[in-house]
Structure 1
Amino acid sequence: MSTDFAFGPFAIDLQRGALFREGRPVAISSKGFRLLEALLGSPGRVLTKDELIQAAWGDTAVEESNLSVQIAALRKQLGPTAEGGDWIITVPRVGYRFVGAATEPTQQIAETKTFAAEHRPSIAVLPFLNLSGEEEQEYLADGITEDIITALTRFRWLFVIARNSSFTYKHKSLDAKQIAQELGVEYLIEGSIRRSAQKIRISAQLIEATSAKHIWAERYDLELTEVFAIQDEIAERVAGAIEPELLKTEGAQAAARHTGNITAWDIVRRGIWHFHQVTNENHLKARELFRQAASLDPELPEGHLWLGRVSAGLVAYGWSDNRPTDLQEGMEAALKAVQLDERNPYAHYSLAIVSAYAGQFEQSISAARKAIEISPSFALGHLVLGMALLFGGRSSEAIAPLEYGVRLSSYDPQNFVWFNILALARLFSGRAEAALEAAARALQVRPNWRTSLEVLVCCYAQLGKWDEARRCARQMVGAVTQPDDVLTPLRTHNPGWAEDMASSLRRAQI
């Protein structure tokens, strides 16, 4: 079989496990990719259902309906041929046939590889090791690996190597740098599973291939009650957790580059690095970079969506000189991002966070839910949903999405905000002890942050622990202050809660 294929406006890169249309990546599932590869390898020939099931699922027993679903999705992704028909036709009671003529697109593949390398960080998930000592557990390690690959493909800014390429390294002892060079990727995820009775331990780590630096690592101990639920949970946790780590790393690399003839996306990545420093000066620098990117390439959704996010951040942290103007700029940018790419969860998150600080809570909730619908493991979608619900006075409903969001993204540099929001959701729902735990975690992430200390005062006051409340109140005197704070929408739209907080603070300061 040829290494690569082209047909119509499409090119398929078998090494990377990627499909491109006119040079741009097309989202495709790993099973859909395997089906397409099999069909392209036998153009004009009818492949039986059994042959295709073997190609996509191997020896796993599956219903024929699974094949029908995957073929239907593949047809939708490819769209019609130049003549208006389907690329894949059904042969009743037999199977399917690919009707296009496949060629070897050496130049086209080279161009698509260059596009991918220049526009998106690339990553491969290596087969997780089975440390259980039981061969029958091998399927579990493979299943978790494949689910993580699938989960990562939902992050559209990330170029993910497909399963058929990653799994060529199963049981091979090669170092990360060599594997990354062979696959042409910048990052690798390695991991292992160990099962004991009804418990399972999953370890995962993210590696920057060139330096072999470990960027992120985590271990999960879970009950093995239902295998596929475990796989889904691990995949979502890992995918959610590495996202902020990759954004920070990619942004830092872009910021360190020389300032020559750079693209709008390079400018966005530089801005992302400044954004994640979470200081007044860096937020202002990030805004200027995002404005520059949006002006340089008005059709690039990322420039607009990050402009929306930083505008909301400036307002939330009290760094805005003109709150209404900044919110208007952020709202227009976020709406533009959604218009340009309605399948981008970050665009909907941008709209959700700006709407939350503009007091438009129903719009914020709707945008957050859309982001989650597009990408179920998108931590920020769950977090902003909880924020909008809390600001809108629905504290009990806010708890679940906030808890899920911080669990998905344990290392987000702005978690001091989300833990404070979670603490208040719990506090106003009558769960003061749990609220105190979240408030304490917020202070650990960003020590001496005035809002965190204030929330701690309220939690201690609710529990009748006035000595601790007074201690936190005294710390507030030398804490980081700002003309406004992240809780302004909550106070403005929930005067009863605002008075309860103010009353606790007054009593603690006596």
Structure 2
Amino acid sequence: MTDRSLQRRLAAIVVADVVGYSRLMEADEAATLDNLRELRSGVIEPAVMRHNGRIFKVMGDGFLIEFGSAVDAVAAALEMQRTTTAVEASGDRRLLLRIGVNLGDVIDDGSDILGDGVNVAARLETQAAPGGICISGSVHGEIVGKIDDCFFDAGERYLKNLTRPVHVWHWPDALQSILPLPECPSVAVLPFTNMSGDEADEPFVDGLTEDLITDLSRTAGLFVIARNSVYGYKGKAVDVRLVAQELGVRYVLEGSARRAMGRVRINAQLVDTLGGQHVWAERFDRTVEDVFELQDEVNAKIVEALVGRLTIPTPRNRPKNFEAYELCVRARLLTEESPQTEREAYMLLQRAVKLDPSYAEALGLLAYNRWLAWTHFGEPEDPNRRMAVTSAQKAVDLDPNDAGCRYVLGTILAYERRWEESEAAFAKALELDPNHADTWAAMSDISVLDGRIADGLAQIEKALRLNPHPTCWYLCHLGQAQYAARDYEAATATLRRKETYRTNSRKFLAAALAQSGHREEARREAELFLIAHPHFTIAHWLSSQPLRDAAVRDHFVDGFRKAGLPEM
């Protein structure tokens, strides 16, 4: 073959593969082959034809498909997946696909297409969830603004046999398949739009949204998505039907707020995304001093629209000082990010508590902040440990009905090894608020370190259903649980996600890589972790964690040592 016989071109390549094909063939060969033929003729070929592609090669249960445009390739991939998952959900037997899509240079030798563009697409396919799609950064750059579906950024990944990292995007979120609707009414509260034109009012408007989510989630008979999962939509023009699909809910609340001349005006509307109609809409106009009564009124109206007139939960402790409230709202946004933002949040919360010593939420956040400083950010154990315990207990004493304060107390008591008191605090938190995703996630951490790994995995999965687009520490706890279960491949994939990759969880990634035989890569991750956390030692980690199971303890220590993390 001469160079002249090789044709190079830029192409969008789709690689699709049937999930669990060998297992299905072993179970029922005839039925599987019939389903494969139906998949090709009824799903893949029509989608490829509609979007101007061609099937270049069929490899048993795999398909290599070429398109002239990345937009056509992704549109065809989405059509294939929607068709197969819809039939699967209906109860009919149907094969599921994993799909990878890449835009790159390919070589056509007349009988096959080869090259880097194909190799990357094939590696991306292995990263996709069953029924999901994984695309490269080059593809994502081409479809932005042209494809409505939301792809989730998984960051740069080193894929097998590729020397350079590839920027990876998933559809749907790699942590979730198509989410089924809960049996009870389910709702997501989108971030309210700030209509005042003053950026200084953004924290105030964000606080209104967060407080509505907190109050709604305390209502028995409602399923409410956690705040972290809705803030990705802030400032974006979104189709509420797509939002509902991504979050697995039926109802979406959206609205706006304006603060001016000492008054607050809120416009809110509740949409049933299945029927497309507005269930409820109203305008509220109050003085700033009445903002907490306004929140209670909006909450009551939404609850009545969704589940009828119910006994409203006992009101939470509200701040007596409005400036303390605004400081607390600003501190919420800084929690858990880094040692630097943790210290900034500490200063805000100190001021809030000084302004209003009876403000339970501020004391609860202050307790959590000091616990993070001691257990995760390398600050001295004392006085941080003592301040965390004292502040958490005082917060609960001031407001026994605040699930968030109970959750903080339960977490801190576990790290104090006061196990029964910790379990009681968590149980009370979920009694007050069954939708409190942070409590479910924290319980996962405690369960795993106690050796109850299956319980820990179930608890973090519950948390992720309530919070489908989670903050970094949820993924840390998921990766930790997967590591404890010795599923190092899953732990590595979780801990490399963009949301958690460069955080405190990196030590678990290093351990997972070391245990799976990737010692050189594990040591590189350990070195990068130590740059951000120079005070970390295995001895400090052991002394600060609520470890009750010797086998789990030894397993983590073994991974840390193999990765090269320091003992003392």
TM-score interval w.r.t. the shorter chain?
Answer: 0.3 to 0.5
Structure whose residues are more often helix by fraction: 1
What is the TM-score with the length of structure 1 in the denominator? 0.47
What is the TM-score with the length of structure 2 in the denominator? 0.42
